[in-house]
Structure 1
Amino acid sequence: MSDQSTSDQPFWKTTPLKEMSSEQWESLCDNCGRCCLNKLEDEDTGELVYTNVVCRMYDMKACQCSDYVNRQKNVDGCLRLSPDFIPVDWLPSTCAYRLLEEGKDLPDWHPLVSGKKATLAAAGMSLKGKILPEDWVDEDELEDHIIAWVK
């Protein structure tokens, strides 16, 4: 299957999420790492808030999971997204999977749109320099690390 349809539209505009090839599906991830941030849930409202504390499997230099293939085995609660499981409320509002599930388009900075991985960082979407590793922060202190720059 090619990435372009006969109408010259990109695959994410012409192929429903459930019909994407595994290569297309994986390419939607821009590797921002925001889904790897520790989240807290408000017990009263159910609202999720993000912290600047990242999963222990996150490679701070490479800005990606250090063992992506085995992440569910190594981290309790790590979710595996699939066309049948897209937890919209759990994903950041900028996530390609969430955007497409909500009927929206990918942003201009997304590497599939721009053709360059560097646009992610240029748009301020990278976690580089903004996060702390999970093993540096006591779990009881996560509330002290709530951030507003991820929604």
Structure 2
Amino acid sequence: MAKTVKGAKPGDFFWKAKTLEEMDAAEWEALCDGCGRCCLNKLEDWETGEIAWTRIACTLFDDGSCRCKNYEKRHETVPDCVPLTPESVRRLHWLPVTCAYRLIAEGRDLYWWHPLVSGSPETVHEAGISVRGLTIPEDGIAVENYEDFVIEAPTEDSFK
């Protein structure tokens, strides 16, 4: 049974009925599956635009919960934290292929393991989507050493 947000009727699947722009704040936040992948540092090849994912996480990332330690004030601590908006979701080519925001922007549905579909915040971890237990904090790691921590990016076929 799918989980809904406050004010929704049982069985509502707001993400199927609304565009990203039509969602209210609670619905927007509920789209986050808690994978933590957007909080990982990435390397971009300037010539090809190719993205390499690292297991190095933002200083505010909590590896156990896969959530931000100070979400409300994250931009004060981490000025280069990229806010997700309907506009930014459509241009951020580094969002994981499994990201609910990206999926909805592309007119696609959520995967079975998404908490809104499964009804459990644990399925994203059980399915191996999240980076729980994989990350190390960025504090004290020189950018020139990030290449030592590259990991494989998720593909669509990996998590269906």
| TM-score under structure 2 length normalisation | 0.85
Q: Identify the range of structure 1 (74-83 vs 28-37) with the bigger mean alpha-carbon deviation.
A: 74-83
Q: 2-side partners of 1:66 and 1:144: how far apart? A: 25
Stretches of structure 1 that go unaligned for 5 or more consecutive residues are none
Out of 1, 8, 16, the position equivalent to 1:3 is 8
Q: Which residue of 2 aligns with 1:83?
A: 86
- Return the offset for 1:147: 1.0
User: Would you say the 8 A contact 2:56–2:137 is kept in 1?
Assistant: yes
Q: Kindly indicate whether residue 24 of structure 2 is the aligned counterpart of residue 21 of structure 1.
A: yes
CA RMSD after TM alignment: 1.9
- Return the offset for 1:9: 5.0
Out of 38, 44, 62, the position equivalent to 1:41 is 44
User: Would you say the 8 A contact 1:54–1:132 is kept in 2?
Assistant: yes
User: Would you say the 8 A contact 1:34–1:150 is kept in 2?
Assistant: no
Q: 2-side partners of 1:83 and 1:139: how far apart? A: 30
Q: Which residue of 1 aligns with 2:151?
A: 147
Q: Kindly indicate whether residue 138 of structure 2 is the aligned counterpart of residue 138 of structure 1.
A: no
Letter in structure 2 aligned against 1:80? P
User: Would you say the 8 A contact 1:4–1:11 is kept in 2?
Assistant: no
Q: What per-residue deviation string (whole Å, max 9, x for no partner) do you get for residues 49-95 of structure 1? A: 21011011111233211110111121132111122331340211111
| TM-score under structure 1 length normalisation | 0.90
Letter in structure 2 aligned against 1:3? A
3-state SS of 2:87 partner: coil
Letter in structure 2 aligned against 1:118? E
Stretches of structure 2 that go unaligned for 5 or more consecutive residues are 1-5, 156-160
Q: 1-side partners of 2:66 and 2:145: how far apart? A: 24
Letter in structure 1 aligned against 2:114? H
3-state SS of 1:84 partner: helix
Q: 1-side partners of 2:9 and 2:93: how far apart? A: 30
Q: Which residue of 2 aligns with 1:73?
A: 76
User: Would you say the 8 A contact 2:64–2:133 is kept in 1?
Assistant: no
May I ask how many residue pairs the two structures share in their alignment?
149
